[in-house]
Amino acid sequence: MNSPLVSVLIPCLNEERFIGKVLQNILDQSYPTERLEVFVIDGGSRDRTRTIVETWSKAHPQIALLDNPDRYVPHALNRGIRAATGDIIFIMGAHASYPRDYIRKLVQGLKATSAQNVGGVCLTEPRSETPKARAIAAVLRHPLGVGNSLFRIGVEKTTEVDTVPFGCYPRAVFDTYGLFDERLLRNQDIEFNKRIYNSGGKILLLPEVQCTYYARDTFQGLWKNNFGNGLWVVRTAFLTRQLSSLSLRHFVPMAFVLYLLSAIILSLFGWWIAWLPFLLYFILTGIAGLRISIRERNFAILPFSRIAFGVLHISYGVGSLWGLLSILKFHLYHSLHKFRSKNTPPPH
């Protein structure tokens, strides 16, 4: 009875490929399974996800399927929190895998500190073994790809950070700081962790705890995902009315895309020197790609890694720029509507 009751929340949508493996990971944990309750919060899957979860729940009563008619992750998390009865709230991703000691070590880390959230390093692995998939995964764990995102590149000792993947929270945190912001269809976890961090709460990254995230394995999937991430960086800042809800690294790709657009315009007027910073970028990504290929012992990865760096940075930056333009368009529309309403004479 020294083990607190843990509520595991898994938001999901169309995850038939991974959800059974995740549930098996949880039941295989060294943490006492009788002190676990698991909520899979489904946003209306159209594949076999729901059938798989229902089969598992019949065999294991600690597993329950919850409906999320709103479909999106923040709504799923808040539904799970309201349904949970545990002293500790765990968030887990549906397309990730977890070692046997994952829950036990995070619970121990939470109990041993005064932290409001603890998490582990997220190892990014390919979903397949093609050179392209391996290149994408390698770029997503490289400092040139993800900047100073410590939970992706790793740390050597317990480190105080502004966010961690997934998260292990004392239930009281949600009484103190509220629930996830349901306006944020992306970045809701980053914003919530920033809310804790900016209020003086402690978030710790534990190097001895690791989980594995399976990256998208096509450039189209990489572009789509990171375009959305970049878009919601700007929308998060706009909706929360504060830049402190995010970090500087989240805005670097937009600055890069703005630079590229400026270089294109300047070169039309003969200012070819504007491309010198891009030449440096081209060299750095080439060196990084070469090192990745050497580490992976497969030089077929080299051209794919160079493309992956570009797709990652440009898609994220274009998404942020699109988000900024959509906000400016929104303000312009409402300003014009307000001006017209003010200057339109009343009907006789």
pLDDT tens profile 283-324: 999 999 999 999 999 999 999 999 999 999 999 999 999 999
Residue spans of the domains in the chain: they are 6-217, 250-343
Topology of domain 6-217, per CATH? Answer: Spore Coat Polysaccharide Biosynthesis Protein SpsA; Chain A (3.90.550)
Q: What one-character DSSP code corresponds to residue 262?
A: H
320 close to 251: Cβ distance less than 8 angstroms: yes
Report the alpha-carbon distance of residue 224 to residue 236 in Å, rounded.
18
The amino acid occupying position 106 is: L
How much is the pLDDT for 237? 86
Nearest 5°: phi and psi at 79?
-65, -40
Task: Find where tokens 């690294």 sit.
Answer: 249
For residues 187 and 29, what is the distance between their CA atoms, to the nearest angstrom? Answer: 28
Cα–Cα distance for residue pair 257/49, rounded to 1 Å: 38
Average pLDDT over residues 263-281: 95
Range from 68-77, 79-88, 127-136, 141-150 carrying the lowest mean pLDDT = 141-150
42 has a pLDDT exceeding 80: yes
Q: Rounded to whole angstroms, how far apart are CA atoms 326 and 234?
A: 10
Examine the pLDDT at 331 and tell me if it is beyond 80.
no
The reported pLDDT for the residue numbered 345 is: 62
Alpha-carbon distance 190 to 245, whole Å? 8
Q: What is the pLDDT of residue 4?
A: 95
pLDDT of residue 341: 64
Confidence at residue 246, expressed as pLDDT on a 0 to 100 scale? 73
> Does the pLDDT of residue 142 top 80, yes or no?
yes
Distance CA 101, CA 286 (A): 38
- pLDDT band of residue 329 (cuts 50, 70, 90) is confident
CB burial string 202-216: b at 16+ within 10 A, e below? ebbbbeebbbbbbbb
On average, the pLDDT of the chain sits at 91
218-259 pLDDT tens trace: 999 999 999 999 999 889 888 888 777 677 788 899 999 999
The pLDDT value recorded for residue 293 is: 95
Residue 74 to residues 68, 71, 77, 91, 224: CA-CA distances in angstroms? 10, 9, 5, 11, 20
Model pLDDT for residues 102-140, shown as the tens digit of each residue: 999 999 999 999 899 999 999 999 988 999 999 999 999
Q: Which amino acid is at 323?
A: G
- What is the band of 2 on the pLDDT scale with cuts at 50, 70, 90? confident
Report the phi/psi class of residue 47: left, alpha or beta, with left for phi > 0 and alpha for psi in -120 to 50. Answer: beta
For 188, the enclosing helix (H) or strand (E) is helix 188-198
Position 155 pLDDT exceeds 70: yes
Q: Can you give the pLDDT at residue 333?
A: 62
Angle (deg, nearest 10), helices 219-240 and 131-139? 20
Instruction: Of 180, 9, 202, give the one whose Cα is nearest residue 88.
Output: 9
pLDDT at 94 over 80: yes
Q: Which residues pair with 209 in a beta bridge?
A: none
The closest of 1, 28, 22 to 10, measured between CA atoms, is 22
Tokens 């994952």 belong to residue: 102
The secondary structure of residue 243, as a DSSP letter, is: G
Cα-Cα-Cα-Cα dihedral of 311, 314, 315, 318, to 10°?
-160
**Percentage of the chain surpassing pLDDT 90?**
78
Instruction: Give pLDDT, residue 157.
Output: 93
- Is 49 within 8 Å of 56 (Cβ atoms)? no
Q: CA 230 to CA 190: how far, in whole Å? A: 13
